Amino acid sequence: MTTPSQAPIIRLQGVEKWYGNFQVLTDINLDVRAGERIVICGPSGSGKSTMIRCINRLEAIQKGQITVDGTDLTGDSKAIDTIRKEVGMVFQQFNLFPHLTIVENCMLAPMRSRGLSKAEAQERAMHYLTRVRIPDQAHKYPSQLSGGQQQRVAIARALCMAPKIMLFDEPTSALDPEMVKEVLDTMIGLAEDGMTMLCVTHEMGFARSVADRVIFMADGKIIEQGPPAAFFDNPQHPKTQQFLGQIL
Ligand code: ADP
Ligand code: MG
C-alpha cells in the first residue's frame, strides 16, 4: 500500500445542508488526504449518501465550504464540471445505460468530456474492463450481465475518466451475497493502487482490512472517527457502540 501524502485533497468545513426545514447535515468538518481510504458507516438516514453526494456536487450545500483538489465547489458551474471529471462515483444501483454495450458505457464520458477519440476511448475502456476482469463481456448489454459484473462495469466506467477520487455509496448492498466479494476485491485492488477512496459501506471486513479511517455518522453529524482497529474494538460514543452491536 502507498503512504497517503499530507495535503488534503478534500476539505469540508462547517458544512450544513437542509432539505426544506429538515437539517440533514450539521457542522461537517472533514479533511481527506490524497491516497487516503475512508469508510463511512452509520444508521440509515444519518446523511451518509448526502455527504458524499455533496463532494461531487450532486447536492448543493447551504452553509460552509467544500474544496476538492483545490477547487471551491461553491463556485461557478465551470468549477463543478472540473470536479465531476476528477471525482468518480459508484452507486448502489449500477446506473449503466441499458441501450449501450458494456464497452460503449465506458467510452461515452471520456469521449464527451475528456476529448478522447473513439479509438483512444475504446482502448482505455478495454484496459479497465480487463482490470475488473470482464474484458470478455465488452460487447454485451448490461441486462446480460450479473449484478456483480454490472457493478464492476460501473467501477471500470468511472475509472475511464481517470478520476483522482472515487466515491462509493453502498456498492454491494444491492448484490446477491455470492457477488459481494468480486466487487470488494475490485475495490481492494483500487485501494492497493493508491486511489483516494470514500466508501459508504457496512462491509466491516472490508473496512478493517482496507480503511485508513472509519467515520461514523448519526443524525447528520460525524460522531466518531478513527483507525479501524480502535473504531471497532473500542468505540467511544454510545451511538457507535449501539450501531456496532447491531451489525457485528
Ligand atoms: P443515509 O445515506 O445515511 O441513509 P441520506 O443521506 O440518504 O442518509 O438521507 C439523510 C436524510 O435526508 C434522511 O432522513 C432522508 O430521508 C433525507 N433525504 C435524503 N434525500 C432527500 C431529498 N432529496 N429530499 C428530502 N429529504 C431527503
Ligand atoms: Mg445512503
Instruction: Give pLDDT tens digits for 159-186.
Output: 999 999 999 999 999 999 999 999 999 9
84 — pLDDT class (breaks 50, 70, 90): confident
Separation CA 143–CA 149 (nearest Å): 10
In this prediction, residue 78 carries a pLDDT of: 81
- CA of 97 from ligand 2 middle (Å) equals 22
Does any ligand 1 atom lie closer than 6 A to the CB of residue 150?
A: no
**Protein residue with its CA nearest to atom 20 in ligand 1:** 50
Residue 5 has what pLDDT? Answer: 52
Among residues 218, 186, 157, which one has the least CA distance to residue 25? 218
Distance, CA of 60 to CA of 56 (rounded, Å): 9
User: Which range among 70-79, 84-93, 110-119, 168-177 shows the weakest confidence by mean pLDDT?
Assistant: 70-79
CA–CA gap between residue 244 and residue 16 (Å, rounded): 26
Tell me, what's the pLDDT at 3? 53
Say what the pTM is: 0.95
Q: Identify the residue whose C-alpha is closest to ligand 1 atom 24.
A: 19
Instruction: Kindly report each contact of residues 139-145 with a partner whose C-beta sits within 8 Å and lies 24 or more positions away, as own/partner.
Output: 139/101, 139/102, 139/103, 140/101, 140/102, 141/98, 141/99, 141/100, 141/101, 141/102, 142/94, 142/96, 142/97, 142/98, 142/102, 142/105, 143/98, 145/102
The arithmetic mean of pLDDT across residues 16-40, rounded, is 97
Tell me the percentage of the chain whose pLDDT exceeds 90.
90
CA distance 222 to 235: 14
Q: Which of 54, 12, 40 is nearest to 223 (CA)?
A: 40
Q: What average pLDDT does the segment 57-79 reach?
A: 89
Q: What is the mean pLDDT of residues 81-91?
A: 92
Q: Is the pLDDT of residue 232 over 90?
A: yes
The pLDDT of residue 73: 86
CA of residue 49 to ligand 1 center, whole Å: 7
Q: Average pLDDT for residues 139-145, to the nearest whole number? A: 98
**What pLDDT was estimated at residue 157?**
98
Helix (H/G/I), strand (E/B), else coil: 124: helix
Whether 201 has a pLDDT exceeding 70, the answer reads: yes
Distance CA(85)–CA(247), nearest Å, equals 35
Kindly report the average pLDDT of the chain as a whole number: 94
Q: What local confidence, expressed as pLDDT, does residue 228 receive? A: 97
Average pLDDT over residues 115-137: 97
Average pLDDT for residues 189-210, to the nearest whole number?
96
Q: What is the pLDDT of residue 171?
A: 97
pLDDT in the model for residue 149: 97
CA of 44 relative to ligand 1 center, distance in Å: 9
Rounded to an integer, the average pLDDT of 201-215 is 96
Per the model's pLDDT, the better-predicted residue between 75 and 13 turns out to be: 13
19 CB within 6 A, ligand 1: yes
Q: Is the pLDDT of residue 1 over 60?
A: no
